[in-house]
Amino acid sequence: MLQTYNGPLEKIDDYRWRIPKSSMPGMRVDGLVYASNKLIDSIKNDKAPQQVANVATLPGIVKYSLAMPDIHWGYGFSIGGVAATDIEAGGVISPGGVGYDINCGVRLVRTNLTEKDVKPKLKDLTVALYRNIPAGVGSKGDIRVDVKEEKKILVKGARWALSRGYATESDIDHTEENGAMEGADPSAVSERAYERGKKQSGTLGSGNHFIEVQVIDEIYDEEKARVFGLKKDQITIMIHSGSRGLGYQVCDDYAKSMVSTLSKYNIDVPDRQLACTPFNSEEGKRYFGAMKCAANYAWNNRQCLMHLTRLTFERIFGESWERLGMFLVYDVCHNIAKLEKHNVDGKEKLLCVHRKGATRAFAPNHPDLPQDYKATGQPIIIPGDMGTNSYLLTGTQKAMDETFGSTCHGAGRSLSRKAAFRNYTVGQVRQELEAKGISIMASGKGTIVEEAPGAYKDVNEVVDAVDGAGISKRVCRMKPLGVLKG
């Protein structure tokens, strides 16, 4: 059982807490945790802050080892952890800093529908999504490919879906990295990973992955909402999934093999789950190439899921998805490592930025943003639990200055899956959701209990913290109406 963290957490201001590098031998930088007074006690109640300190020992790490307010215990890095390493100064890349579900991410789709349009058909819509979209552990979809075609997906990402008629150019434009990272190396992916991935494009997976029909119930920034095509009482759809078995296998293969490289490069880490290698080493380049393959697989997967969702809405509402206004607002990833240029001590440096359960939050006018979003900053999609709210935010210059352009990625768990089973029953969770008018379909009863709203932190408090800290700003809030869980 995890122990409470008893190390130092020095309050800097209302939303930032420091773990000084003097608190543990080997720390190269301070730890910096973003959290409110309300959230900090729950953060202390697991050992995630210890993981923040552990990450601060990585060779080449710069500025801080960061944690967002949705922080909780993870593999190597805490979930909600961010770290950047200077690759020209021996900076490392670590599979534990990306995670097992490489490019687990979320996309937000707008519609022309209102709550009044959807309510009478909500149950039918939820059931139709459940029937049309494969979900759950090991789920297999109708979009099946051989290894030759799968390699194309790993290189082209969401553009593979475009070539099959499952996407539009607008979808690609409004996806992070335009739906594919360049330099993916299919030769660095194992046969086992290929085998696991070839039948899973267009499948939802299990755990916290979902498709959610939502309604916008609060607008905080009218101008930005207008740019994104959003207004109060409008129906949106949120899709949360990742790289499925292929990404898991890529992480597993390299997390194990990198343990042996620690001695080769004289790297000493306090936790074997932080196994890493210099980014510019042969092993580092090979992992990065394989990670890009999994990331591209995930972008294609979410695009295929969006295609299936559009087809389902067409069937239920008797209109084309174009007439229903089902256009992509944006797609962001949560578990990724990227090469990015950031200012460190007054100098621009090329860094390997690890975001583990954290979202990119680029400021207005950043060159990587779509042209129509230059003035707003990057859209940031923050799902809550299935019984409360989700949010759309935008990135800020303060995020660029303090967090390598990063922010939180969700509510963050407050109970482990085992603890959720001890505290809730399927009946309790269903009753709670029904009382709120939320329709749910899931591939297994266990998922409903694991994902009980009470197993998560209050997403409103998490978003208050990042908004208050100035590293992202609220645009609108959505509440769930219908939920499909894996």
Catalytic residue among 72, 174, 307, 409: 409
Give the mean pLDDT of 25-45.
94
User: For residue 2, what pLDDT band results from cuts at 50, 70 and 90?
Assistant: very low
Q: Which residues pair with 108 in a beta bridge?
A: 238, 330
Q: Is the pLDDT of residue 137 over 60?
A: no
The answer as to whether 3 is a domain residue is no
pLDDT the model gives residue 380: 98
Catalytic: 174? no
pLDDT the model gives residue 46: 82
pTM (predicted TM-score): 0.95
Q: What is the pLDDT of residues 380-394, one digit of tens each?
A: 999 998 888 999 999
pLDDT the model gives residue 202: 82
pLDDT the model gives residue 141: 63
Question: Residue 225 is which amino acid?
Answer: A
What is the crossing angle of helices 37-44 and 459-469, to 10°? 120
Q: What is the pLDDT of residues 421-431, one digit of tens each?
A: 888 888 888 88
Pair of tokens at residue 152: 């194309």
Q: What is the pLDDT of residues 340-360, one digit of tens each?
A: 999 999 999 999 999 999 999
pLDDT the model gives residue 6: 77
Do residues 104 and 333 touch, judged by C-beta distance below 8 A?
yes
Q: What is the DSSP string of 234-289?
A: EEEEEEEE--HHHHHHHHHHHHHHGGGHHHHTT---SSGGG--EETTSHHHHHHHH
Pair of tokens at residue 56: 């601060």
The answer as to whether 464 is a domain residue is yes
The answer as to whether 401 is a domain residue is yes
| Structural domain total, the chain | 1
Residue 382: give the domain boundaries.
10-485
Do residues 380 and 393 touch, judged by C-beta distance below 8 A?
yes
User: For residue 1, what pLDDT band results from cuts at 50, 70 and 90?
Assistant: very low
Helical spans, DSSP H, in 261-416: 261-264, 282-317, 397-402
The answer as to whether 462 is a domain residue is yes
User: For residue 138, what pLDDT band results from cuts at 50, 70 and 90?
Assistant: low
The answer as to whether 2 is a domain residue is no
278: CB partners within 8 A, 6+ apart: 59, 60, 87, 90, 91, 92, 93, 265, 284
The answer as to whether 95 is a domain residue is yes
pLDDT the model gives residue 387: 85
Q: What is the pLDDT of residues 90-106, one digit of tens each?
A: 999 999 999 999 999 99
Measure the CA–CA gap between 288 and 353, rounded to whole angstroms.
12
Give the mean pLDDT of 441-469.
88
CATH number of the domain bearing residue 349: 3.90.1860.10
The answer as to whether 4 is a domain residue is no
Percentage of the chain surpassing pLDDT 70? 97
Q: Is the pLDDT of residue 234 over 60?
A: yes
Give the mean pLDDT of 236-252.
96
The answer as to whether 5 is a domain residue is no
Question: Residue 44 is which amino acid?
Answer: K
Q: Is the pLDDT of residue 405 over 80?
A: yes
- Say whether 46 sits in a helix, a strand or coil: coil
Q: Is the pLDDT of residue 140 over 80?
A: no
